[in-house]
Amino acid sequence: MAQNAKITIHPSYEVGSISDRLFSAFMEPIGTIVNGTMFNPKHPTADEQGFRRDFLDAIKKTNLPAVRMPGGNFVSCWQWKNSIGPVDERKVSLDPAWHQYYTNEVGHDEYLQWAEKAGTEPLYTVNMGTGTIQDAMDLVEYTNHKGGTYWSDMRRKNGHDEPYNVKMWYLGNEMDGPWQLGSFSSNPEGYGSKVLESSKAIRWIDETIETAVCGSSAPFMEGFPEWDMKALDKCYDVVDYVSVHHYHSAPPGDIRALLGGSLYYEDFINTEIAMIDYVASKHRSPKQVNISFDEYGAMVRPLEPLHPGYGRYNMARNHYRFDPERRYIKHDPDNMPEREFPGGDMIHALSMASIQLALLRHADRVKIGCMTGGLSALAASNHDHVWKSASHYVFMQLLEYAKGTSLDVKVDCETYDMPGYAIEDTSQYTGKEGVNYIDAAGAWDKEKKKIAVFAINRNEETEYPLTIDLKGFEGYKPAGAYTMHTDYPDIKNTYENDKALMPETEESFTFENGEFKVYVKPLSWNVYLFES
């Protein structure tokens, strides 16, 4: 008999305000997301700029708050000035990060104009690898200054009379990574000093903007968290966010390790918060710098051979290899290979949702969250069509119901242990004991007097009787309940049927004396709503 599970929420358990940018997405011109999905002039729905209207309209309907663009590793050698003006006069360039020819048909203006059409906020990443402080200044002047200067008038000449008013600027991408062009992997102080001067300079051009300094690209980085501390120490007074990334991996078939990966995200976040607050204390600063978790994902990866004696961290060794047979590729937006995640939609949706719940539980300090693959999660696509995957529905429920203040939910349920494992030499996970089968987070919209509790059952076999204790919220009653579950884990939504997996109304619950009681199915996504 399964042990009863209990979630307790209380108005005294506030975490912090939930930012509108917490559930956003990330875009970089690799794979098909730009060339083929966002942009394909030969597609039947293409508009005058070559943007696919089927994809554009699908994203617009979601009210996605923000998209980080245009990368990613891509930006560390991208010269934005090569991408403006008449398309037929733009410079084709090499993209060494992804070994591709980049035609610049989708350039600086196109990225921002696509965001305008999609009704989403662009969060812009600046080249701090091969780029200079002057490049960054020219970029912000071109983008945000009204007119009367060379670069702002150039924007107007190129067809956009009004400033784009981009508010969020990332100063570099993964600058501690040896795979990055212009990497500062061995020189955090040098990078922090460059950010200090760059942020100061661009904020003097537009004093309404926010900026972010790169923290570690993963919790496995050899310099983590000292690299982050040394970089932030140089620029604390002129930045608003520390930008961090992580991609969690689990071995094939180990669903509990995959869905328990959110614990490693929480470890990462907690360490970054401690590091940031240490630097604030060192600077005697009342200012609070927050976290932008602007790339994240979860995936299944087969275990690779380990190399004892190399040491735990060999990222540099992995990225200083040169293959004389490798060739640059020129992508055709109308003839891009399709990429599909193995397995069904359900596990993938749960793995990403578990990370989103971890971000929600830290909403006091994590103010931006950009899901890698978030655009595809909201609008799955192939060469011809766009549809809704299971992840679409989960993402949309978080966008709709995770409003107001994050609540520190207390969970009491059965637990399991996750043994430590190593995917390869770098990605090594320590074991975790006492992992809750029920993963939960909550949100309280005080103004509208609404509460949302989100819950995942990580157990692939057991259904749990669940009690949600709302006694502290006097007068609140159930206002809706939804669950998404399947007995067929390999099922996928398709263009022909994008409702094979979607949340259904849960009607089998009781509510008495402030206790909501329901059963949660194995490997399920659940949303419970309450109103006063």
At residue 183, does pLDDT exceed 80? yes
Q: Tell me how far apart the alpha carbons of residues 213 and 209 are, in angstroms, rounded to a whole number.
A: 14
CATH code: domain of residue 319: 3.20.20.80
Q: Is residue 472 part of a domain?
A: no
Give the structural domain span for 104.
5-407
pLDDT of 493: 97
- Say if 485 falls within a structural domain: no
510 located within any domain: no
Position 338 scores a pLDDT of: 77
Percent of the chain with pLDDT over 90: 91
pLDDT at 311: 54
Residue 122 three-state SS = strand
Whether 226 is in a domain gets the answer: yes
pLDDT confidence band for 464 (50 / 70 / 90): very high
Q: What does the pLDDT look like over 18-31, one tens digit per residue?
A: 999 999 999 999 98
- pLDDT score for 424: 87
In a domain, 388, yes or no: yes
3-state secondary structure of 509: strand
What domain count does the chain have? 1
The DSSP code sequence of 77-104 is T--GGGGSS-GGGSPPEEETTTTEEE--
Q: What is the mean pLDDT of residues 286-294?
A: 97
216-260 confidence digits (pLDDT tens): 999 999 899 999 999 999 999 999 999 999 999 999 999 999 999
Is 430 within the bounds of a domain? Answer: no
* DSSP string over 180-216: STT--TT-HHHHHHHHHHHHHHHHHH-TT-EEEEE--
The predicted pLDDT at position 355 comes to 98
pLDDT at residue 343, rounded to an integer:
82
pLDDT of residue 319: 61
Tens-place pLDDT, residues 349-380? 999 999 999 999 999 999 999 999 999 999 99
pLDDT at 315: 59
Residue recorded with tokens 């401690």: 274
Average pLDDT of 133-148?
98
Q: Output the average pLDDT for the chain.
A: 95
Q: Is the pLDDT of residue 320 over 80?
A: no
Q: Residue 503 falls within a domain, yes or no?
A: no
Q: Which residue type is seen at 3?
A: Q
195 φ, ψ to 5°? -65, -40
For residues 126-142, average pLDDT:
98
449 in any annotated domain: no
pLDDT at 98 over 70: yes
